[in-house]
Structure 1
Amino acid sequence: MKLIIAEKPSVSRNIADALKIKGKQDGYFEGNGYIVTWAFGHLLQLYDAKDYDEKMSTWKMENFPFIPQAFKYKVKSDPKNREKPDRGAQKQLKIIHGLMKRPDVDGIISACDYDREGQVIGDSIIYNLRTDKQVYRLLLNEWTPAEVMNGLQNVKPNTELRPLQDAGVSRQWADWVIGINLTSVATLKYQKGKGKALNIGRVLLPTLKIIYDRDREIETFVPENYYKLQGTFKTQQGDEYDGTYTEGKDDKFKAKETLDEIKAMLEDKSGVIHDKQVQKKKEYPPFLFNLSNLQGHITSKYKGWTSDKVLKVAQSLYEKKFITYPRTASIALEESLVGKTAKVLETLSEGLPYKDEIKFVKSKRVFDNAKVDSHSAIIPTYVKPKKLSPDEQHVYDAIKNRFIMQFMPVAEYEETRIETKIKDVALKGLFISKGKVQLVEGWKKVEKVQSKDTILPLVQANDPVDLVKSEVTTHTTKPPKQHTEKTLLRVMETCGKNFEGDGDDEESVHAILSGFSIGTPATRAETIKKLKDVGYIESENKNLFCTKLGRDLVDTFPIKDLFNLEFTGRLEKSLHDIEKRTVTKQEFLQLIFDFTSHSVETIKGEKDVTINEVTSQRRTNEVMGKCPLCGHAVIEGQKGFGCSNWKNGCKFVIWKNDKFLATMKKKPTKTMVKALLKNGVTTVKGLTSKKGNKFDAKMRYEKNPDNDYFSWKMEFDK
């Protein structure tokens, strides 16, 4: 009997389905020679500083730097009360431990995600619970039944994944040491009043600096005027076209007088076609998606999307077996996937109007081991979804379309360049006209990509043309644009190397594959979200910019290495090298410990400056109404609207993060609570169904007959 431990319940269900296991017990499936159980992501977390030493329960400057002799793990904390362990995690760990000790279990298979984080999740559970049984690793890129069965035939000894575990643990311990120490001393040094700490992190600060730098570029930008000379010409057939006066390669002039003089010389002049060049050019589809490119594509295409949301939706599609592993940096597929990819393409091509144009080809653009690091690019699986939410549909369609594009004809266009020379005038330059005509639509059919064609008239070299009019136009240089999540992800992915490009250039690909980046595909979205949550950045429409707190932190915090893209890139590269066995875990951690100790001493020696003052605002304790259980006043608290008689045991409360309302994308408001307490019912507008549709409903909050807790009830007008 083999025990399989999956990272999440949904994945364990996929494995059980593949093994045709019907028997579900409390916390696991069993049948056909396997037991399949699950974690809920991390069941264990690192000790807090105070768990190692009681003196660390209060922050005092003299207690830092604090670096444990050995790192220890405990059951993860309850999100509502960090002092207590999470009951669900505690229960599931007990179940897993019991299953590991069963005498009929002769081997354990970790089936957590095939990445650093997944390795740490599985290993922390298995080795902290201790076992002398053989441990194996199931390494999969998708959870389709065929892949699960094939993977179980080819499990590896978990010892072979030690470098991945070392990299995962090194990342976890390093972030703990830097975060605990520098967040604490920075808060003590630069913040007045109690409240949220000044978050300092290895990935957080360089990401903040990218946005800060762009803000500063925009603020210090000085606009400059430049001028162009435009000419309109007419052929002998009566067709008109426009051209721009160009000297060498320059068509922008700083002195308007220069162009005014040329314009005056053009009066009553005619021209001649000096040269005409027509080139056929090919336009290849964009590469397959990695996570950052998918996040950039979706956040720039649809309103209201964040990179964090894209990751969550992609993860859901992955766990439902519809796409391959999403947390990847690769834009190509392993060459071993040729056969499987052909079958997926055949399945997805069915019923498409351009099916006859889709041809499977083994090309280097799609299949290239040199462009794959750990995981191949994101593609659909052979399992076609029958029903998706609107959000899932957006993300799935993007991945499916990008995949199909690779096997459509290459788009082709004709580019025409005409040089028009003015006769009888000694000018240094010529008028240049460029035109483009789409010849083969090819892959652009998949998403109906529109090409902007500029069609020029049919002329030949030496044809005479008339100058109909000429005009000097004024233009102003524009500042760089604010970063969006798309452009920010691009900089993070390549540590700023060629980040203005589209990600297809060789240097960018090399930077990504060598691990020279800020964070990983899995953590970048989380970093952007955290920057917003801690108040360092804000977003308006799709643009990101620093808050005053964010700017003050960059200006004041003395550890400049933490803002440096190169420094952070080298740390991430070291983690990557631990996976590749060219750097040891001990070497990396010693570097981190030395850096942290030195940084703490540097901050201690700096001048005392306040960059954040937290003022505690007394609550007015506005009464919402009478408690339906005891009649006392219901008032607003930090986490909910509760009875003021709670000290005497009254349990009435409406939680602000109520899970039932959250499934319909709603939170309770003061207005809702007041109406409920007064009338017993409230009308809630703009609820969201599972399908993504908006609806209104009347809601009641009624006491359960067998206990003192309350549940929501919905009613609809007939």
Structure 2
Amino acid sequence: MNKSLFIAEKPSVAQEFAKALKVNTSRKDGYLESENTIITWCVGHLVTMSYPEAYDPALKRWSLETLPFLPEDFKYEVIPSVKKQFQIVSGLLNRKDVETIYVCTDSGREGEYIYRLVAMMAGVKDKKQKRVWIDSQTEEEIIRGIKEAKDISEYDNLSASAYLRAKEDYLMGINFSRLLSLKYGNAVSNYLGSRYQAISVGRVMTCVLGMVVRREREIREFVKTPFYRVIGNFKQQGHTFEGEWRAAESSRYFASPLLYKENGFKKKETAMELKEILSANPPLEAVVEKIEKKKENKNPPLLFNLAELQNECSRLFKLSPDETLKIVQELYEKKLVTYPRTDARVLSSAVAKEIYKNISGLKNYEHGSIYAAEILETGCYKNLIKTRYVNDKQITDHYAIIPTGQGLNALRSISVQGSKVYEVIVRRFLSIFYPPAVYQKINLVSVIEKEKLFSSFKILVSEGYLKVTPNSFGKKKDNAGKEEKTIAEDGEFLNWILGIKKGSYLSIEDFSIKEGETSPPKRYTSGSMILAMENAGQLIEDEELRAQIKGSGIGTSATRAEILKKLVTIKYLELNKKTQVITPTLLGEMIFDVVNCSIRSLLNPELTASWEKGLTYVAEGSITSEEYMFKLENFIKSRTEGVLGLRNQLMLKQFFDASSKFYKKPAQKRLENQKKRSKIEKNNLREGR
């Protein structure tokens, strides 16, 4: 009897397919089998690219003479630690009674690559191969994916882009890491006093390092500028509010060199001078010259993609992107949410038509039941397809991360942090079915002594979707996020503000001076870095190039967290676990300077984003693999030749010196650590521990 073979990416996913197929399987070594079905699994990657020494043993030794290394045909090998499972999978793929292979690895470029490598190494021939593409692991979605499975050839372009991505990372990593290590490794190790220093370079990670180092240097070079604002303190109806002085055209200070922007002065003495002018004729009153009233609607935000969720979890929970990905992957595998490695923040029209199923399931969820019931009762979900939250053109592999409405029993077995992340996803999803929050905005201009004071109010008139968003676990400031606060708290004061007319007189208690100072750029957090990587195209100054690679970031939703983690692991960056703030290390800054003096383009987001866009073109079938490889090999050849011709090792010391003064030397660090240990030991002795 001919059988169907289902190959999943992980054992847990294989179990979900077995449940969905409702087959009575017996457990074998590395697979499940029934009368007409076999289900097996990879354990992530089973096959990898071979190191250069597999091509020629002489290539094991790093040498400038053997660069660039650009093989005509690439070699692959089974990863030793998973050799047994590969042999099991390979044997099943080639079994004579297996007629159809259903490829059920993760629905994305990396999942496609995992299977294609296995099939290539196993030498699969003369079998029907069908690709199962699903957005969640619910039984309904799995069965739909199997029924609608397409011939694997329809994913050949995606497969080609996956192979090219791996080749690109491999060739850039091996060639440029060897090249720069041989050329500049001694300069780095001699300066640090270490034995030997390899220089690790990567298509994406070097660009990320560049972003962090540049930001750190901007902060160092930033010079704070103090400025002084004059504020009128109004008192009305038992409430106080402020009016900020600005140098309008009628002001005696208009376009004055004494100004720091239009609302402050460079020197406190000038601000004091204005304060005395404004306070000269008590009782102090200002006349309303202009009042503007307008309603403002604020729509619910778009749904989560992985980058947005990682940023939100960094802000709320101080989770690293890697930790967030692990949590949301678990939620996906327990059927609670849809596929997490997505760049889309919208839904497909097909999903929108069936969205009531997701909402209905949430009627049984503690923190969503009231809203889910209300949405279903009003029927507002029926118009979802006409909103900005549905757009087929903005979806490539997968739609946004949303709750499936299923698997709620699994919430008992996940961590507290996992439950919180799930709640955040649910609230974002349910909020899109509610109307906008409505604000009344009032801008008030009043005049005293021919100078103008500006006041503004933002009053929440209708909370709309905001009633859904406060988390059960959060503080008010966490729930509010960047939501603006209003000073209006009672009806009488609101009515008074709304009743103000031109020509009205307002009482001023006094004037004060508020000192401020300009702020340096903020350091990246792990979350904001993920967003910066996703939106790297926006960092490009060239307008034409920026438009050309619009929508391309650096890395992918599946790889960004891992890249950031690697930079921390190899000690090029430091990640503060409490704050999630990212800073460079001295070594990281030195590597930046090495690359900046040799292959500067590796530090630029435009290069990395353009390569990523090229991979997208391959996946779309716009360009061929041959065209892409031709461009890649020329880039590696030209940059290698350029570095080989440089003689600039000695000049690096000036850059290393410039950075090192901002870091403690190793000996100093050791001394401080010894003092800390000694202090702890003394305290322990005092307390009798």
Residue 241 of structure 1 aligns with an amino acid whose one-letter code is: F
Q: Is residue 109 from structure 1 mapped to residue 142 from structure 2 by the alignment?
A: no
Query: What displacement does 1:255 show?
Result: 4.7
Task: Give the Cα separation in 1 of the matches to 2:129 and 2:392.
Answer: 29
- 2:362 corresponds to which of 348, 358, 366: 348
2:421 corresponds to which residue? 395
User: Does the C-alpha gap of structure 1 residues 394 and 240 become closer, same or farther in structure 2, counting only changes over 3 Å?
Assistant: closer
Q: Is residue 529 from structure 1 mapped to residue 565 from structure 2 by the alignment?
A: yes
2:292–2:444 Cα contact (<8 Å) kept: yes
Q: Is residue 254 from structure 1 mapped to residue 280 from structure 2 by the alignment?
A: no
Task: Give the Cα separation in 2 of the matches to 1:481 and 1:124.
Answer: 43
The structure carrying a bigger strand percent of its residues is: 1
1:308 corresponds to which residue? 322
Q: Is residue 454 from structure 1 mapped to residue 448 from structure 2 by the alignment?
A: no
1:264 corresponds to which residue? 276
Residue 609 of structure 2 aligns with an amino acid whose one-letter code is: G
Task: Give the Cα separation in 2 of the matches to 1:496 and 1:590.
Answer: 24
1:230–1:472 Cα contact (<8 Å) kept: yes
2:50–2:77 Cα contact (<8 Å) kept: yes
- 1:68 corresponds to which of 64, 67, 71: 71
Q: Is residue 426 from structure 1 mapped to residue 450 from structure 2 by the alignment?
A: yes
User: Does the C-alpha gap of structure 1 residues 247 and 271 become closer, same or farther in structure 2, counting only changes over 3 Å?
Assistant: same
Residue 36 of structure 1 aligns with an amino acid whose one-letter code is: I
Note the 1:443-522 alignment, pairs <5 A: 443-448=465-470, 449-450=479-480, 452-455=485-488, 457-458=496-497, 459-495=500-536, 497=538, 515-522=551-558
Residue 581 of structure 2 aligns with an amino acid whose one-letter code is: N
User: Does the C-alpha gap of structure 1 residues 280 and 357 become closer, same or farther in structure 2, counting only changes over 3 Å?
Assistant: farther
Which of 1 and 2 has higher RCO (CA within 8 Å, sep 6+)? Answer: 2
Q: Secondary structure at the match of 1:276?
A: strand
- Using the TM superposition, name which of 274-283 and 294-303 deviates more: 274-283
2:537–2:552 Cα contact (<8 Å) kept: no
User: Does the C-alpha gap of structure 1 residues 349 and 537 become closer, same or farther in structure 2, counting only changes over 3 Å?
Assistant: same
Query: What displacement does 1:95 show?
Result: 1.4
Q: Can you list the C-alpha shifts for 1:406-458, whole angstroms capped at 9, x where unaligned?
A: 11232122222221111xx333xx11111122222222222324452222653
Residue 227 of structure 1 aligns with an amino acid whose one-letter code is: Y
Residue 158 of structure 1 aligns with an amino acid whose one-letter code is: I
The structure carrying a bigger helix percent of its residues is: 2
1:434–1:454 Cα contact (<8 Å) kept: no
Task: Give the Cα separation in 1 of the matches to 2:70 and 2:354.
Answer: 48
Note the 1:365-376 alignment, pairs <5 A: 365-376=388-399
2:158 corresponds to which residue? 164
Task: Give the Cα separation in 1 of the matches to 2:291 and 2:458.
Answer: 13
Task: Give the Cα separation in 2 of the matches to 1:512 and 1:144.
Answer: 38
- 1:22 corresponds to which of 21, 24, 27: 24
1:284 corresponds to which residue? 299
User: Does the C-alpha gap of structure 1 residues 47 and 417 become closer, same or farther in structure 2, counting only changes over 3 Å?
Assistant: same
1:515–1:576 Cα contact (<8 Å) kept: no
User: Does the C-alpha gap of structure 1 residues 511 and 485 become closer, same or farther in structure 2, counting only changes over 3 Å?
Assistant: farther
1:274–1:462 Cα contact (<8 Å) kept: yes
Q: Can you list the C-alpha shifts for 1:570-603, whole angstroms capped at 9, x where unaligned?
A: 1110001111111211111121112112222222
2:185–2:197 Cα contact (<8 Å) kept: no
- 1:435 corresponds to which of 457, 462, 467: 457
2:307–2:531 Cα contact (<8 Å) kept: yes
User: Does the C-alpha gap of structure 1 residues 183 and 238 become closer, same or farther in structure 2, counting only changes over 3 Å?
Assistant: closer
Task: Give the Cα separation in 2 of the matches to 1:353 and 1:418.
Answer: 40
Q: Is residue 155 from structure 1 mapped to residue 149 from structure 2 by the alignment?
A: yes
User: Does the C-alpha gap of structure 1 residues 355 and 517 become closer, same or farther in structure 2, counting only changes over 3 Å?
Assistant: closer
1:689 corresponds to which residue? none
Q: Is residue 554 from structure 1 mapped to residue 592 from structure 2 by the alignment?
A: yes
After TM superposition, the score normalised by the length of structure 1 is 0.78
Q: Can you list the C-alpha shifts for 1:586-629, whole angstroms capped at 9, x where unaligned?
A: 111121112112222222223335889xxxx9xxxxxxxxxxxx
2:225 corresponds to which residue? 224
Query: What displacement does 1:178 show?
Result: 0.7
Task: Give the Cα separation in 2 of the matches to 1:117 and 1:155.
Answer: 18
Q: Is residue 405 from structure 1 mapped to residue 431 from structure 2 by the alignment?
A: yes
Residue 604 of structure 1 aligns with an amino acid whose one-letter code is: L
Task: Give the Cα separation in 1 of the matches to 2:610 and 2:160.
Answer: 17
Q: Secondary structure at the match of 2:429?
A: helix
1:234–1:241 Cα contact (<8 Å) kept: yes
2:371–2:430 Cα contact (<8 Å) kept: no
Task: Give the Cα separation in 2 of the matches to 1:234 and 1:175.
Answer: 64
1:373–1:513 Cα contact (<8 Å) kept: no
Runs of 5+ unmatched residues, structure 2 = 187-193, 249-260, 471-478, 657-665, 667-689
Query: What displacement does 1:531 show?
Result: 0.7
Note the 1:629-648 alignment, pairs <5 A: none
User: Does the C-alpha gap of structure 1 residues 194 and 58 become closer, same or farther in structure 2, counting only changes over 3 Å?
Assistant: farther
Task: Give the Cα separation in 2 of the matches to 1:293 and 1:372.
Answer: 16
Query: What displacement does 1:511 show?
Result: 7.7
Q: Is residue 571 from structure 1 mapped to residue 573 from structure 2 by the alignment?
A: no
Q: Can you list the C-alpha shifts for 1:205-261, whole angstroms capped at 9, x where unaligned?
A: 1100110111011000011111211001234x5654321012349323335454333
Residue 453 of structure 1 aligns with an amino acid whose one-letter code is: T
Q: Can you list the C-alpha shifts for 1:87-124, whole angstroms capped at 9, x where unaligned?
A: xx211122122222222211112111111111111111
2:331–2:418 Cα contact (<8 Å) kept: yes
Runs of 5+ unmatched residues, structure 1 = 77-84, 500-506, 618-718
Task: Give the Cα separation in 1 of the matches to 2:196 and 2:312.
Answer: 37
The percentage of counterpart residues that share the same residue type is 32
Task: Give the Cα separation in 2 of the matches to 1:6 and 1:210.
Answer: 37
Task: Give the Cα separation in 2 of the matches to 1:518 and 1:584.
Answer: 21
User: Does the C-alpha gap of structure 1 residues 601 and 513 become closer, same or farther in structure 2, counting only changes over 3 Å?
Assistant: closer
The number of residue pairs the alignment matches comes to 588
- 2:349 corresponds to which of 329, 335, 341: 335
After TM superposition, the score normalised by the length of structure 2 is 0.81
1:229–1:471 Cα contact (<8 Å) kept: yes
Q: Can you list the C-alpha shifts for 1:283-307, whole angstroms capped at 9, x where unaligned?
A: 112210001000000011113x210
Q: Secondary structure at the match of 1:209?
A: helix
Query: What displacement does 1:195 show?
Result: 5.6
Q: Secondary structure at the match of 1:198?
A: coil
Q: Secondary structure at the match of 2:587?
A: helix
User: Does the C-alpha gap of structure 1 residues 103 and 478 become closer, same or farther in structure 2, counting only changes over 3 Å?
Assistant: same
Q: Is residue 297 from structure 1 mapped to residue 337 from structure 2 by the alignment?
A: no
Q: Secondary structure at the match of 1:323?
A: coil
- 1:121 corresponds to which of 114, 135, 141: 114
1:380 corresponds to which residue? 403
1:228–1:252 Cα contact (<8 Å) kept: yes
Q: Secondary structure at the match of 1:106?
A: strand
1:273 corresponds to which residue? 288
Q: Can you list the C-alpha shifts for 1:160-200, whole angstroms capped at 9, x where unaligned?
A: 10100010000001111111111112122222476663210
2:37 corresponds to which residue? 34
Q: Is residue 200 from structure 1 mapped to residue 206 from structure 2 by the alignment?
A: no
User: Does the C-alpha gap of structure 1 residues 177 and 194 become closer, same or farther in structure 2, counting only changes over 3 Å?
Assistant: farther
Note the 1:6-21 alignment, pairs <5 A: 6-21=8-23
- Using the TM superposition, name which of 345-354 and 432-441 deviates more: 345-354
- Using the TM superposition, name which of 529-538 and 128-137 deviates more: 128-137
1:493–1:512 Cα contact (<8 Å) kept: no
User: Does the C-alpha gap of structure 1 residues 70 and 136 become closer, same or farther in structure 2, counting only changes over 3 Å?
Assistant: same
1:243 corresponds to which residue? 243
User: Does the C-alpha gap of structure 1 residues 25 and 278 become closer, same or farther in structure 2, counting only changes over 3 Å?
Assistant: same
Query: What displacement does 1:136 show?
Result: 1.2
1:371–1:513 Cα contact (<8 Å) kept: no
1:681 corresponds to which residue? none
2:536–2:609 Cα contact (<8 Å) kept: yes
1:489–1:524 Cα contact (<8 Å) kept: yes
Note the 1:675-686 alignment, pairs <5 A: none
Query: What displacement does 1:487 show?
Result: 1.7
